[in-house]
Amino acid sequence: MFNPRVAILLLVLALPAHAATLFVSPDGTASDGHSWETAFPTIGEAIVASTTGDEVWIRSATYIENVIVEKPLTLLGGFSGIEGPGERDLRNPNRNLTMIDGDRNNISVVTIRSTTVTLNGIVIQNGLSNVGSGLRIIESSVILLESQIRKNGIVDNAYIAGGIRVENSQCRITGCVINHNSASGGGGISSIGSKINLTHSVFSDNVANLGGAIAIGPRDSFEIDSCSFTRNTARYKYPQSGYIGFGGQGGAFYANTTGGKSNVKVLNSKFTTNTLTDVGSGSVFYGTGQFSAEFDQCTCIVGSHTTGFSLGGDFPAPVLKNCIVVSEPNGSSTPIWMDDAIVSHSLVEGGYPGEGNIDADPKFVDISGGDYHLQRGSPCIDSGTDTGVMVDFDGNPRPVGDYDMGAYEFPYLRSDLNGDGAVGPDDLLIFQQDWGKVSGD
C-alpha cells in the first residue's frame, strides 16, 4: 500500500546527504576546500575531496592539469574569488576567465566517464590526445554551458576529435564557443552512439581532414538550433609532411554512419565560408552511409570553388526547407552537388528543382560585412513553408506573416511600410503616394 511518509523518506534518502560547495583557487591553503582561503589549488584535488552532487567553484586562473570526473558534479568557472555562499550568480565567466590547460601531454584535458556532470563557464585548451584532445565524454550525461573549447588537437595524425569526443552519451551544449581545434576526424566534435543537442553556439576556425567542425558517427542523433559555423576547413594534405592522404570532406559537417543510422536536424543556423582545400567536397555537409539530415531555416554562404552539400555515394540525400544557399561574395561554387536532394521553399544560387524554390539575389543587409538579415523587398520574405520553428536565429518570433527563408525572419509584415507592426491606412497612403514612381524620381 502507498504510504506518503515512506515515499518522502525514500526521496530524502535518494538525494545527496548534503551537497557541498568546494572551492578552487591557486593561492588557497588546501586545508579543507570549504572557502576561498582554504581552497584547493587544483581542480583535481577538489574532485578527489568531493562527493556526489557537490558544486566546485573555480576562481579565475589558468590551471595546468588534466581532469578526470567519475562522479556527479557541477564545475563552475568565472569566479573572481570574493563571492560568498549564495553569491554564485555574481560570477562572470567572460570577465573572470577560468582555463584548464592540458599542456598537450597526450591525455584529454577533461575526461568525464560514467556519470552526470555540468560544466559552466570554463575554457578547455591546449589538449592533445589520440581521442578527444579537449573534452572526452564516455557513457555519461553532460551539460556544457557558456564554455570555450579552443586550441586542442593536431591534424597531422590519426587523432580523433580535436575539441570534444562524445561516446555513447547524452550531451547538451549551449552558449559555447568551439574554435581553433584540429584533428584528422572532427575538428570541433566527433561522436558515436550519442544524443547531442547544440544551441546558440559558435564553431569557427576548426580544421580536420574529415569534418572541420563536426564528424557525425554511427548511431548519433544531433539536434542543432541557432548555431553558427564559420571558416571551418576540411583539408586534404598533411601540412607538415606534405603527404597527400584522405579527406578534404565536410568543411562544417562530415557524416560517416557506417555501422548504424544517424539523424541530424539543423535549424536556424548559419554556415559562412567553410572551406575545403584541394580536391575535397561538401563545404557545408558531406555524407556517407545511412543517415537522415534535415536543414530548416538555414543560411549557407558557400566558400568559393567548393561544393556546399555533397554525398560520397548512393546514400540518402539531405532535406532542405526554407534555406538560402549562395556563394560567398565575388565567389562561385556549386551549392548542392547532387541530383536527389529534397529541397523546397529555398533560394539556391543557380536554381534547384523542388516546390517553391527560387534563384535570385536574397538581398541580405550586408553580405560582405557578414550581416545576413533580409532587406525589405528580399524575395525570401514570406516565401517559405511552415517548418514549425517558432523563433529565428536572434530569438525573435517567427513567422511574421508567412515563413521567410534563411536564419532570420524579416521582423515586419511585408506590407507594413511604416514598420508599426500592422498593415493599415498609413501603409496604404505610402503605397498610393509611391504608385507609378520610378526609383530616382
For residue 344, the minimal CB distance to Ca ion (Å) is: 16
Closest listed residue to residue 257, CA positions, set 232, 287, 229, 280: 287
Distance between CA 200 and CA 392 in Å, rounded? 11
For residue 415, the minimal CB distance to Ca ion (Å) is: 8
Range in contact with Ca ion (rule: CB under 5 A) among 6-14, 28-36, 140-148, 423-431: 423-431
Closest listed residue to residue 24, CA positions, set 67, 74, 79, 64: 79
- Say if strands 67-69 and 61-64 run parallel, antiparallel, or are unpaired: unpaired
Helices (H), 86-215: none
Residue 366 burial (10 A CB sphere; 0-12, 13-18, 19+): exposed
Which residues are bridge partners to 118 per DSSP? 74, 143
Determine which residue in the list 418, 428, 429, 431 makes contact with Ca ion, applying CB under 5 A: 418
Distance between CA 222 and CA 206 in Å, rounded? 19
Task: Give the amino acid at 378.
Answer: S
Closer of 312 and 379 to Ca ion (Cβ): 379
Distance between CA 183 and CA 186 in Å, rounded? 6
Range in contact with Ca ion (rule: CB under 5 A) among 73-81, 84-92, 288-296, 400-408: 400-408
| Cα torsion 92, 94, 95, 98: sign | positive
Closer of 146 and 404 to Ca ion (Cβ): 404
Range in contact with Ca ion (rule: CB under 5 A) among 54-62, 171-179, 273-281, 413-421: 413-421
Interface with Ca ion: number of residues (CB under 5 A): 9
Please, which residues have CB within 8 angstroms of residue 216's CB and are 6 or more apart in sequence? 190, 191, 222, 253, 254, 255, 256, 257, 262, 264, 291
CB-based contact 324:359 (threshold 8 Å): no
For residue 373, the minimal CB distance to Ca ion (Å) is: 12
Q: Does 416 bind Ca ion (CB under 5 A)?
A: yes
Closer of 353 and 424 to Ca ion (Cβ): 424
CB-based contact 350:327 (threshold 8 Å): no
For residue 436, the minimal CB distance to Ca ion (Å) is: 21
Closer of 6 and 429 to Ca ion (Cβ): 429
For residue 408, the minimal CB distance to Ca ion (Å) is: 10
Range in contact with Ca ion (rule: CB under 5 A) among 133-141, 255-263, 287-295, 397-405: 397-405
Determine which residue in the list 420, 429, 431, 434 makes contact with Ca ion, applying CB under 5 A: 420
- Say if strands 371-374 and 364-366 run parallel, antiparallel, or are unpaired: antiparallel
Range in contact with Ca ion (rule: CB under 5 A) among 175-183, 263-271, 283-291, 410-418: 410-418
User: 3-class DSSP state for residue 130?
Assistant: coil
Closer of 332 and 396 to Ca ion (Cβ): 396
CA 149 to chain centre: 11
Closer of 113 and 414 to Ca ion (Cβ): 414
For residue 403, the minimal CB distance to Ca ion (Å) is: 6
For residue 389, the minimal CB distance to Ca ion (Å) is: 12
Please, which residues have CB within 8 angstroms of residue 165's CB and are 6 or more apart in sequence? 108, 131, 132, 135, 136, 137, 186, 189, 190, 191
Closer of 58 and 417 to Ca ion (Cβ): 417
For residue 168, the minimal CB distance to Ca ion (Å) is: 41
Closer of 370 and 401 to Ca ion (Cβ): 401
Determine which residue in the list 303, 404, 407, 412 makes contact with Ca ion, applying CB under 5 A: 404
Closer of 200 and 414 to Ca ion (Cβ): 414
Determine which residue in the list 44, 331, 401, 411 makes contact with Ca ion, applying CB under 5 A: 401
For residue 347, the minimal CB distance to Ca ion (Å) is: 14
Where in 336-395 is the site for Ca ion (CB under 5 A)? 382
Closer of 147 and 346 to Ca ion (Cβ): 346
For residue 355, the minimal CB distance to Ca ion (Å) is: 18
Task: Give the amino acid at 36.
Answer: W
Task: Please give the residue ranges that form the binding site for Ca ion (CB under 5 A).
Answer: 382, 399-401, 404, 416, 418, 420, 427
